[in-house]
Structure 1
Amino acid sequence: MLWIFIFYFIYNTEVGMSTDNSIYESVRLPLSLIPLHYNLEITPHIYGSKEDFSFDGFVRIKVLCKEKRDIIWLHSKSLKHKEIRITDGEDRIIPVISWDLEAKREFLIIMMGESLSPGETYYIEIKYHGLILNDLKGFFYSSYKDGAVEKYIFSTQMQPTDARKVLPCFDEPALKATFNVTIVRRTDLTSLSNMPILRSEERDHELVADVFETTPIMSTYLLAFALGDIDYLQNFTETNIQIRTWSRSNAVEQTKFALELGCKTMTFFEDYFQIKYILPKEDMIAVPEHIFNAMENWGLITYSENGMLYQEGVTSEVSKNFAAILIAHEISHQWFGNLVTPEWWDDLWLNEGFATYMMFLGVDAVIPEWKMMDMFIIHNRGLQSALAFDDSLTTHPVYVPVNDPAEINEIFDLISYAKGAAVLRMMNFFLGETTFRNGITNYLTSQSYKAATHNELWYAMANQSLVEGKAEIDVKKIMDTWILQKNYPVVTVTLVNGNTIKVEQARFLINEEHRKNAEPIYWEIPFAYTTSDNPNFEKTDVDIHWLHADRYPIYIKDDSLTNSTWLVGNPQQIGYYRVNYEEKMWISIIDQLKRNHKVIHVVNRAQIINDAWNLASSGLVSMDVALGTLEYLTKETDLVPWVAGLQELHKLGLALQLTPAFGHLQIFMQNLLANVFKKVMTGSTHHDKIMKSMISNAACSSGLQSCLHLARQMFDRWLDDSSLLRVEIDNDFKLSVYCAGISENGVRTWDIVYGRYKKSDSASERRSLLHGLSCTREPWIISRFLQLTKNSSEIQQTESIDALIYIAQNPVGRLMVWDFLAENWKHFFDTFGAGLNHMPNLVKGVTEAFNTYGELIKLQHFGERHADLGTATRAYNNAAATIQLNIRWLKKYYVIVEGWLMKQNGAL
């Protein structure tokens, strides 16, 4: 009973406070206390109705007092604090007067009867209660079907600011501490956490408490645990690290690929960084739903099922590729993010940019035949995606000041991930691989278990450059131009006097009016090039010509230019910039592609297409040049240029979707794809299979009869197989088969396919089926489909986002989706508003095709009605700017494009 009297005890409410909070208005915690260690015990109440899922928690935080204060600030959100006690560790109680929650800053503020003394350690003990929801944040549940039975996996997602939903804590990345975690569970369930289980203790009511070993010093956002009816496969790396891959018990065989790749990439990164992974184990668990695709918790990586499970004969090659790079991404985080953590979220890119670059390096090393470094250019987390995201005034720098959680959530975007990776790849180029790699090792070693900023990285790289005799490279000066400034340059190359090229830079913006009126920005640019006289695309740091951060051009004399018909700047698109030429040089490059495209590196073939189309959209080259880059594609056999080409044709299709010229585009696409479609259907390599998926989808969508006939045949056999015994559909042809079949049939067929979606236990198969369901041509079926996306028992939350974006690609559903989203904005905002990329992706995906004044007005009226768009704010602004750009593009280029299409089709 003594315990009750010692505590200042309140149950299910918070003590009121009358204190002047103006003494500290920042959203950052004051550093009067520094956390040293957390003892955390979680007791879930998960054995009744899911509406009643909750947990009791107890945390004991050891802190070091740095400043005399009689107030304690911690983070807490959505928790009910029952009891709070402060001690000095020797049973002396520090009197607690009251405590209060400040919702705006998500602070728990504790008022004490006396001040804490600097230099002394204290213990903050809190009993509290929280809810377990399926909001995919903090401690949450996600469900799956085991036969007719609904089951649950309970897991955590703390990043970036949701550890405070699980325990009162110092929830900032630099405030690292060690953790001891205890999970109280029923005996039929299994629990996991960052560390191995130290011991299991019997508790009352047939419960067991799993006590886990002490973690290394780490940030709160990396704390993790999971609980459920789960099973695992196991292996060990060459350095004897235990790797286990977990999932719901009926899917554990689908984790074999993740286990194999996890072991290989762990070994690769240990060798690459020259730093051994320090934990004794790495668990990876697939959960039914995840707000990210994955999360890099130290020692317990969580994944969405779609991001980790691979089922032979069901999962497509595209999904296998996605799983591979995602696994490599999360394992590389064990060093970048976990061992060394950004001091604050403004340097988020130190986590995500590095992990994105390293995921391509890692998979390229362990599966070299996939050629992942070539695919970096055209991947949706790669360079060209970053350029497209970074070409407007509404973008932001790589390093960006952020304060409150909404701002933090908003920067988990392509700038932090893809642009961060692209500028690191460029730094590797101008430093050289040896200097770059050694510099990274020095950075990780010197900052281990610490929180760092980008300046520590520049310091490590600069020191290594000095060691290796490259004192002329000012790393900080160069890299600050790339991470502290938004946008990027276009480098214009002009031939002068036959043997000299003039190279100059300007700020690139896709909006022609903005580009002409915007303030100039300049970068330190490592420029390289190659010529037709000596077409060498394997350039190194010794081939660099520096274009400095000023308005002055450079002149490069090169006698090989005398005998050259063309030159290509930025070999292998190593630099984060676009390249423009005089029109006659563009024509020479296009002629070379038509004569023998293989003379030009596969990456640069993709670069030429992507640069030409974006330069044309910005008014820097003629549309004839952009269109001309596509004419050679009938001879192209490589995936990378085809991806670049199909991306531009996809955007062209969206632009022309509601115009008379769309029919001409369909005929052009059929002619372009007829022969390549036949070839890709028999391919067997990784790239062949991905090409099969992309080409067949484009071919069937354009109405190519050979594609549609084959797809409908397969669909009919699959549909008639009511026993599902089962008619096999080529994994990489599924999107086309499902879409072709559903688009030609009515509601009965739609209902059968939807039923199979509901029964499928494969995440990748469910997404393929959702894509197919979006292809219906019946508006009333689309309307019913839209309503289903609001019901998580019908369509999983994260899959509902995909479904809405898929429907928006359908001309019949184009405006229906926007009207539905606007009408149900509160539902989706409440579900995903703090969900990082979900709302931005939804806004972008649903408005991607908009190019009319009516659609622009709809968007503007929506913005006027919703003052707070949360993480979707930047995406909304981007959408508004993009629609205006699309309107101008159509007005300026429609006649030119229509005429070119008619000429290509022989109609002129």
Structure 2
Amino acid sequence: MGKGGFYISKAVGVVAILLGAAAVATIIALSVVYAEEKSKNEVKPTEGKPEPSPTTTKATTAAPTTAAPTTAAPTSAAPSNEPWDKYRLPDTLMPEYYNITLWPRLQRNESGIFIFTGKSFVVFKCLQATNLILIHSNKLNYTKFDEHHATLTGIDDPNPPTINTTWLKLETQFLVIQLKGNLLHGKSYRLDTEFVGELADDLGGFYRSEYSEDNVTKVVATTQMQPTDARKAFPCFDEPAMKAVFHITLIHDNETKALSNGKEIDTKNIEGNLLSTTFEPTERMSTYLLAFIVSDYDSIEQQDDVLIRIWARKKAIADGHGEYALNITGPILQFFQKYYNASYPLSKSDQIALPDFNAGAMENWGLITYRETALLYDPQVSSNGNKERIATVISHELAHMWFGNLVTMKWWNDLWLNEGFASYVEYLGADHAEPTWNIKDLIVLGDVYRVFAIDALASSHPLSSREDEINKPEQISELFDAISYSKGASVLRMLSEFLTEDVFTKGLSTYLNHFAYNNTVYTDLWDHLQTAADTSGVELLHPVRDIMDRWVLQMGFPVVTINTATGTVSQKHFLLDPDSVVTRPSEFNYQWYVPIKWMKTGIEQEKVYWLQQKEDKNDNMSVNGNDWLLANLDVTGYYRVNYDNDNWERLLAKLTENHTEIPVINRGQILDDSFNLARAKIVSTTLALRTTKYLYNETEYIPWQVAINNLDYFILMFDRTEVYGPLQAYLGKQIKPLWDHFTQITDNWTKVPDNHMDQYNEVNAIKIACSTGFKDCQDLVKYWYTQWMQNPNDNPIHPNLRSTVYCSAIAEGGDKEWNFGWEMFQNASIASEAEKLRAALACTKYPWLLNRYLEYTLVPKIIRKQDATSTIIYIANNVVGQPLAWDFVRARWDDIFSQYGGGSFSFSNLINGVTKRFSTAFELRQLEQFKKDNAGTGLGSGTQAVDQSIERTKANMKWVAENKASVLQWFTTESG
């Protein structure tokens, strides 16, 4: 999404005894009334060391009528600092291999719930003598071995200690096993457990996903282990450095198929209508990369050096929706093998589309899981944006097969390197698969500018945290944010640029080969890149580690100011709110080593200039007369650029006279930098607005999209004020030539533009024209939508245009249009089409429809859990819906928090999404009260987002107060 240890070879792993029919009989005995087991396990977290509490119920070979009780430690009044009170595993034990058999039930039991039963053992080596075994366990119920939760045997210790007592430490999610003697240093042991868990619909661990096909409800048993949910599927040492080999067996109904990380090596009939499928042992890997799935899916495949299969619902496969993913997976795999100079390490690559999935996709080694929208493509329904998403997400996940899976971070504080790297090279892999798209340019829009908005806050955070700062599961989940993904991608792209791609890939290759099947910290990569630079003759002013530490260990980024009259170049920590106080210290005093690529009057300068101090002098950066200077070419550097007023004027004049002399990415950069510099009070707001005047002659996508993104901020701040009318009038004036351009090249909206970027900009032309009241546009979208309403089986709207046409038509219409859209959403069999409709339904201007829609978000049978938070955000994006969504979130926070959990990756998005329009003192008080009111319930992974929203609201208030009058005057003048 994606340390050294003891390596166990495949030969040793195969020696492990695989569970056969006898074990299956034992597991059948675990099929109990889960509701009773669950109630017995619902004990409160404990503090302190328990007294030994032997149990009285032993496991039997027949199914018990009541589950054996699960013991928990009694409460102690005094604070405790015992090992089980910490969230991290001690460094006393290291797993070598697991043997796991799981049986998910795809039908409800007598108590009306879904369960899975399991039997597993782990062989581990003792690294330090100890009388304590801590192994992660969460929401599992255990049957008993000899009055305990587990049995312990020695592999090479003939006299292993016996178990004294066991209990569950719920807060830190440990099964605690105290022994009567010590495990011996260097010896290996085997721990056996049997357990029962709920196959819940919570999207984490071993869970269920439901869908309807041919009017039949079907269930998929699937997994999402990252970051800390493997412990919900079986007891394990659930930390990324605790790599091991996994032997997996799945028991499943005869009409279903079983998948796991390894290739299936044996399937046999057992016990009536059941099958037992065993898989080849995995490579040495982390628990968070495990996957096992049982479904009745179909697949399509290609066999080259690697078996590639695409799995999905039967109808989706029959209709050819997996073909595009299959066609590009092979080329992308081949690209990464060449890029890394390392062969794909597995025998197969399965990719599967799931109806219910919280993330976009997950890089499980050999069995990648996806949302349907990220894997399935139907050319009749899917847009070019859907197609691009599939290409980039597949590329992202395949990149992880090496970087993340083969070589893994030691601990989650280095998550940024894993996700940032994949977020960078996903553009390279997708570009190889679709070379005509010019997709590599889009990283500036999709990642650099996206994360600038967050990293310019005083409440931002560095890419890499200290290891001891990240302990709890919710702290780990908070790391899955734009900083880790998009800033990580941005600074790695900058690193590749100044090293050169050849040196970058050379260092990557030696890094991956040296640390294969092991764990690293981020500085290990710097060391290998440094060696590659040294052996390639690349001269750097400072070592790679010294340069990159400044970008990794301190938050934020600089604004580089160039005075073209004097050649003075300076840097300063860029903050959107210059009055905000940065409380986080930095050992580098918020200075960076800044690589600057630049041009003078259209001529690119060959040598990169490095700004190393707060201020420097470079005579080559002074210009004369009408000459102009432009820095940060193609925005390869992670910083903003400001100039003296004269150079700004010369750039504006060049945009007006002949904008094509400035590279297209940098035309977007001039817009984005100026608007954000204005928000930071470095340049005037009217200067930023003036950069948009040339758009009257612009037809390229990137500058238009940058302008729309920045003017969206003005809309958010002013769409409830008198500024909104003149603002819309100006936008309508500027969009008219673009509307005419696409009217012409599409033969009056009947053909699709050939160019990938033009297809995106066609959507912009319609979106802005309709939203600004352009009658031709509104008539066109209403005509298309009415045609569809009259014949629901024949949608005349091109897939590229559906998102904006649906939204515009529903916004202009009433309950009739909304109800039709709702019916089409409910009947949509293609996930990408359902997504477009789900977003468009939030565009209505009727509060009662929006309130009804909000209530639907907490009913999983209507709005899937994976889509609940984004639906609320869609509604909040609507000026009518924003206060309704905010009231809903506050009133229903306990329900939202309990249903979607503090560890949900989308939780921070929810907080940011419903508050981004806040710009008044009243809204600030509401937000601060919300934080106070939920101090008890907690904000989970949204905690940091609330602080960022408070900071953003304060900045918005000041900006509106200082700029409203001048903005109103400017738009009034320019819209005439």
**TM-score, normalisation: structure 2:** 0.89
Shift of 1:185: 0.4
What SS does structure 2 have at the residue aligned with 1:558?
helix
Alpha-carbon distance between aligned partners in 2 of 1:434 and 1:780, rounded to the nearest angstrom: 58
Partner of 1:543: 607
Shift of 1:504: 0.8
Shift of 1:92: 6.1
Residue 884, structure 1, aligned to residue 951, structure 2: no
Alpha-carbon distance between aligned partners in 1 of 2:423 and 2:732, rounded to the nearest angstrom: 36
1:246 to 307, 311, 320: 311
Alpha-carbon distance between aligned partners in 2 of 1:72 and 1:807, rounded to the nearest angstrom: 49
CA contact 1:14–1:99 (8 Å) conserved in 2: no
Structure 2: gaps spanning 5 or more residues = 1-21, 30-53, 60-66, 145-149, 747-752
Trace 1:79-90 onto structure 2 (pairs within 5 A): 79-83=140-144, 84-89=150-155
What SS does structure 2 have at the residue aligned with 1:173?
coil
Partner of 2:124: 63
Trace 1:858-873 onto structure 2 (pairs within 5 A): 858-867=926-935, 868-873=938-943
What SS does structure 2 have at the residue aligned with 1:201?
strand
CA contact 1:805–1:842 (8 Å) conserved in 2: yes
CA contact 1:77–1:107 (8 Å) conserved in 2: yes
Partner of 1:397: 462
Partner of 2:557: 488
1:35 to 52, 70, 95: 95
Shift of 1:748: 3.3
Shift of 1:566: 1.1
Partner of 1:716: 786
CA contact 1:697–1:735 (8 Å) conserved in 2: no
Shift of 1:564: 5.3
Alpha-carbon distance between aligned partners in 1 of 2:621 and 2:270, rounded to the nearest angstrom: 83
Deviation per CA, 1:507-559, whole angstroms, max 9, x where unpaired?
A: 11111212799975101111221111x422xx6xx6122212x43x2211228
Trace 1:298-317 onto structure 2 (pairs within 5 A): 298-317=365-384
Residue 514, structure 1, aligned to residue 575, structure 2: no
Partner of 1:45: 105
Alpha-carbon distance between aligned partners in 2 of 1:74 and 1:797, rounded to the nearest angstrom: 30
Partner of 1:277: 344
Alpha-carbon distance between aligned partners in 2 of 1:88 and 1:601, rounded to the nearest angstrom: 68
CA contact 2:241–2:286 (8 Å) conserved in 1: yes
What SS does structure 1 have at the residue aligned with 2:445?
coil
1:428 to 496, 512, 515: 496
Deviation per CA, 1:26-78, whole angstroms, max 9, x where unpaired?
A: 31101111000000000112223694111011111010011111110011111
CA contact 1:680–1:689 (8 Å) conserved in 2: no
Residue 577, structure 1, aligned to residue 639, structure 2: yes
Distance 1:718 1:9, change over 3 A: same
Aligned-residue sequence identity (percent) comes to: 33
Partner of 1:567: 629
What SS does structure 2 have at the residue aligned with 1:210?
strand
What SS does structure 2 have at the residue aligned with 1:179?
strand
Deviation per CA, 1:590-613, whole angstroms, max 9, x where unpaired?
A: 111111111111111111111100
Shift of 1:7: 12
Partner of 1:22: 81
Deviation per CA, 1:149-203, whole angstroms, max 9, x where unpaired?
A: 2212221000000001111100000110000000000011111100111101221
Partner of 2:185: 118
AA at the equivalent of 2:915: T
AA at the equivalent of 2:559: V
Partner of 2:481: 413
Residue 268, structure 1, aligned to residue 335, structure 2: yes
Greater CA drift, 556-565 or 284-293:
556-565
Deviation per CA, 1:198-242, whole angstroms, max 9, x where unpaired?
A: 1012211310010000000000000101111101111135xx111
What SS does structure 2 have at the residue aligned with 1:403?
coil
1:466 to 520, 525, 534: 534
Shift of 1:699: 2.1
Alpha-carbon distance between aligned partners in 1 of 2:915 and 2:742, rounded to the nearest angstrom: 32
Residue 174, structure 1, aligned to residue 241, structure 2: yes
Alpha-carbon distance between aligned partners in 2 of 1:95 and 1:467, rounded to the nearest angstrom: 56
CA contact 1:59–1:167 (8 Å) conserved in 2: yes
Greater CA drift, 831-840 or 117-126:
831-840
Partner of 1:701: 771
Residue 813, structure 1, aligned to residue 884, structure 2: no
Structure 1: gaps spanning 5 or more residues = none
Alpha-carbon distance between aligned partners in 1 of 2:131 and 2:102, rounded to the nearest angstrom: 29
Alpha-carbon distance between aligned partners in 1 of 2:713 and 2:465, rounded to the nearest angstrom: 30
Trace 1:836-851 onto structure 2 (pairs within 5 A): 836-851=904-919
AA at the equivalent of 1:65: C
Deviation per CA, 1:760-806, whole angstroms, max 9, x where unpaired?
A: 01111111111221122211111111111110111111222222111
Shift of 1:147: 2.9
What SS does structure 2 have at the residue aligned with 1:691?
helix
AA at the equivalent of 1:263: G
Alpha-carbon distance between aligned partners in 1 of 2:764 and 2:323, rounded to the nearest angstrom: 26
What SS does structure 1 have at the residue aligned with 2:89?
coil
CA contact 1:509–1:515 (8 Å) conserved in 2: no
Shift of 1:115: 1.4
CA contact 1:507–1:515 (8 Å) conserved in 2: no
CA contact 2:564–2:629 (8 Å) conserved in 1: no
Partner of 1:662: 724
What SS does structure 1 have at the residue aligned with 2:591?
coil
What SS does structure 1 have at the residue aligned with 2:122?
strand
AA at the equivalent of 1:192: L
Greater CA drift, 434-443 or 474-483:
434-443
Partner of 1:384: 449
CA contact 1:700–1:736 (8 Å) conserved in 2: no
1:528 to 597, 611, 614: 597
Partner of 2:545: 476
Alpha-carbon distance between aligned partners in 1 of 2:630 and 2:564, rounded to the nearest angstrom: 12
Residue 731, structure 1, aligned to residue 799, structure 2: yes
Partner of 2:37: none
Alpha-carbon distance between aligned partners in 1 of 2:890 and 2:485, rounded to the nearest angstrom: 29
Greater CA drift, 183-192 or 46-55:
46-55
What SS does structure 1 have at the residue aligned with 2:321?
helix
**TM-score, normalisation: structure 1:** 0.95
Alpha-carbon distance between aligned partners in 2 of 1:43 and 1:510, rounded to the nearest angstrom: 53
Alpha-carbon distance between aligned partners in 2 of 1:516 and 1:272, rounded to the nearest angstrom: 40
CA contact 2:701–2:761 (8 Å) conserved in 1: yes
Partner of 1:618: 680
Partner of 1:132: 199
Deviation per CA, 1:450-478, whole angstroms, max 9, x where unpaired?
A: 10001100110111111112354400000
Residue 448, structure 1, aligned to residue 513, structure 2: no
Deviation per CA, 1:322-352, whole angstroms, max 9, x where unpaired?
A: 1111110000000111000000000001210
Alpha-carbon distance between aligned partners in 1 of 2:423 and 2:952, rounded to the nearest angstrom: 26
Cα RMSD, aligned residues only: 2.2
Alpha-carbon distance between aligned partners in 2 of 1:709 and 1:584, rounded to the nearest angstrom: 45
1:375 to 428, 435, 442: 442
AA at the equivalent of 1:617: R
Distance 1:830 1:695, change over 3 A: farther
**Residue-pair matches, total:** 890
Shift of 1:386: 1.4
Partner of 1:232: 299
Distance 1:591 1:325, change over 3 A: same
Alpha-carbon distance between aligned partners in 2 of 1:517 and 1:394, rounded to the nearest angstrom: 9
AA at the equivalent of 2:632: N
CA contact 2:595–2:610 (8 Å) conserved in 1: yes
Alpha-carbon distance between aligned partners in 2 of 1:215 and 1:518, rounded to the nearest angstrom: 43
